[in-house]
Chains A and B, each alone.
Chain A
Amino acid sequence: MTRDEITSGLAEILEEVAGVNPDDVAEGKSFTDDLDVDSLSMVEVVVAAEEKFGVKIPDNEVQNLKTVGDAVSYIEAQS
């Protein structure tokens, strides 16, 4: 799966869970500061991403995933 494919997969999740416009989702964007994803929604995003990409994202990793790019890199490495 390419980085672009993972990004667009995350964009789908972010739209579903938090109402984020998919056009706003890019690797450089911060989940909290740019996309307005609060902590509870972030938990939903993580669980949905685990299911969608078939990976495990432990809670202690989540705090390191500041940007969409961070998440894409983590998922890319695990899958």
Chain B
Amino acid sequence: MTRPDVVVTGLGATTPLGGDVASTWDAMVAGRSGVSPLTQEWAAQLPVRIAAQLAVEPSEVLDRVRLRRLDRSEAIALVAAKQAWADAGLADSGLDPERLAVSVGSGIGGATTLLAQDDILEASGPRRVSPHTVPMLMPNGPAAWVGLELGAKAGVHSVASACATGAEAIALGLDMIRSGRADVVVAGGTEAVIHPLPIAGFASMRAMSTRNDEPEKASRPWDKGRDGFVLGEGAGVVVLERAEHAAARGARVYARLAGSGITSDAYDIVQPHNEGEGAIRAIAKAIADADIAKRDIVHVNAHATSTPIGDMLEIGALHKALGDHPVLAATKSMTGHLLGAAGALESIATILAIRDGVVPPTINLDDPDENLTLDVAAHKARHMEIPAALNNAFGFGGHNVALVFARA
């Protein structure tokens, strides 16, 4: 039996740049920043007072009673999944629910619910703790709500691999379709932890930018002045579909998900391998899995979070595993770092780059690091033919995920 091709037939997102995919992509190609000051009272005491907050609040899209029982990460996963589902035109397609699966992960999960309910516990006692607390904070909550909304009965999965989550969730979807466990997988990532505790935790690791006075310039991958990532929130979801299934119903196809590579460093709990060994293997595996010539993979949406060490290790890994020809983008320069949603949102950007033949800009790359030896579309989008492209996502814990997308 030959391995089935898998294509992308639907996209959905809610991000710091826009409440849907179209507005997000337009802002990205235009090089707009979604980073702004945190004006909340609690931010005043923090070393980091900037973040990339959602452009459209979930309350503008979902009704009040529904939101009472959804963690913010669950609410935005639902928003993105419903968009992707509608975009794919599967609603009345007669798809067998037992052939529909969900793979939606989160890096951190329902932390803000946990913290808010702990405040209630401390202030008012256990009887006041919401009965919705557990389904709101459980890490499989976003996937479960999406599965419930769409009636998915082929399995609901929640990958957790920190900042690689969104990409790994998509890789799992690819595996599920290839192995015949589903015809359609709604896959992606979600994150919503703009709250003083996670920010304080990341800040204590010295992982975050403290460029509080210039929010829009704070996320600056590969620039000499980079000083850490900027926390973002949002969700990205793609509809993966067996190519023959999509063709049979005449579906619009954005791109083919050609291959994936997943490795683990076994090196350090938070530091990437000092020679990018795990990243190199992940990229090489993805290229081999995709069975596409390296010269055709002309664009990379890099993980590039704007941290001093990680940004350059990825450049070295790309040189070794792919070559010196790709044109890079670090879209986190505009969106901030959406943690568990990053790999999903950046997959969407990679897919649209292929569709439109445009490498989105990397903003704030004013003074490139001298070790940046690959071509980057700095400041302005670059129009070019993109037969295939790579998306990287790496996470605390030593997770490395690479995905190859190609023109269908």
Q: Are A18 and B131 in contact (CB under 8 A)?
A: no
Chain A residues, Cβ within 8 Å of B128: 47
Q: Is A17 an interface residue (CB 8 A)?
A: yes
Interface readout for A54-79 with B: 1 if CB under 8 Å, 0 if not? 00000000000000000000000000
Q: Interface segment, B36-44, B62-70, B331-339?
A: B62-70
Q: Are A47 and B127 in contact (CB under 8 A)?
A: yes
Chain B residues, Cβ within 8 Å of A40: 69, 131-132, 135
Chain B residues, Cβ within 8 Å of A17: 65, 68
Interface readout for B39-72 with A: 1 if CB under 8 Å, 0 if not? 0000000000000000000000001110011000
Q: Which residue of A lies closest to B127 (CB)?
A: A47
Q: Are B64 and A19 in contact (CB under 8 A)?
A: yes
Q: Are B65 and A19 in contact (CB under 8 A)?
A: yes
Q: In chain B between 147 and 178, which residues have their CB closer than 8 angstroms to a CB of chain A?
A: none
Q: In chain A between 25 and 52, which residues have their CB closer than 8 angstroms to a CB of chain B?
A: 40-41, 43-44, 47
A to B CB contacts below 8 Å, 6 in the list: A17-B65, A19-B63, A19-B65, A40-B132, A44-B131, A44-B132
B interface majority secondary structure? helix
Cα–Cα distance between A44 and B132 once the two chains are bound (Å) = 9
Q: Is B130 an interface residue (CB 8 A)?
A: yes
What is the CB-to-nearest-CB distance from B121 to chain A, in angstroms, rounded to a whole number? 13
Chain A residues, Cβ within 8 Å of B131: 40-41, 43-44
A interface majority secondary structure? helix
Chain B residues, Cβ within 8 Å of A43: 131
On chain B, the number of residues with a Cβ less than 8 Å from chain A's Cβ atoms is 11
Give chain A's interface residues, CB within 8 Å of chain B.
Answer: 17-19, 40-41, 43-44, 47
Q: Are A18 and B65 in contact (CB under 8 A)?
A: yes
Chain A residues, Cβ within 8 Å of B68: 17
Cα–Cα distance between A45 and B66 once the two chains are bound (Å) = 15
Cα–Cα distance between A47 and B68 once the two chains are bound (Å) = 15
Chain B residues, Cβ within 8 Å of A44: 130-132
Cα–Cα distance between A10 and B146 once the two chains are bound (Å) = 32
Chain B residues, Cβ within 8 Å of A18: 65
Chain A residues, Cβ within 8 Å of B64: 19
Chain A residues, Cβ within 8 Å of B132: 40, 44
Chain B residues, Cβ within 8 Å of A19: 63-65
Cα–Cα distance between A41 and B135 once the two chains are bound (Å) = 13
Cα–Cα distance between A47 and B126 once the two chains are bound (Å) = 11
Q: Which 4 A-B pairs have the closest CB atoms?
A: A19-B65, A43-B131, A40-B131, A40-B132
Q: Which residue of A lies closest to B64 (CB)?
A: A19
Interface readout for B117-135 with A: 1 if CB under 8 Å, 0 if not? 0000000000110111001
Q: Which residue of A lies closest to B133 (CB)?
A: A40
Q: In chain B between 277 and 302, which residues have their CB closer than 8 angstroms to a CB of chain A?
A: none
Q: Which residue of A lies closest to B129 (CB)?
A: A47
What is the CB-to-nearest-CB distance from B230 to chain A, in angstroms, rounded to a whole number? 36
Q: Which residue of A lies closest to B132 (CB)?
A: A40
10 additional A-B residue pairs with CB within 8 Å, beyond A40-B69, A43-B131: A17-B65, A17-B68, A19-B64, A19-B65, A40-B131, A40-B135, A41-B131, A44-B130, A44-B131, A44-B132
What is the CB-to-nearest-CB distance from B322 to chain A, in angstroms, rounded to a whole number? 50
Q: In chain B between 83 and 137, which residues have their CB closer than 8 angstroms to a CB of chain A?
A: 127-128, 130-132, 135
Cα–Cα distance between A47 and B135 once the two chains are bound (Å) = 19
What is the CB-to-nearest-CB distance from A51 to chain B, in angstroms, rounded to a whole number? 9
Cα–Cα distance between A51 and B127 once the two chains are bound (Å) = 11
What is the CB-to-nearest-CB distance from A22 to chain B, in angstroms, rounded to a whole number? 13
Chain A residues, Cβ within 8 Å of B65: 17-19
Cα–Cα distance between A40 and B70 once the two chains are bound (Å) = 13
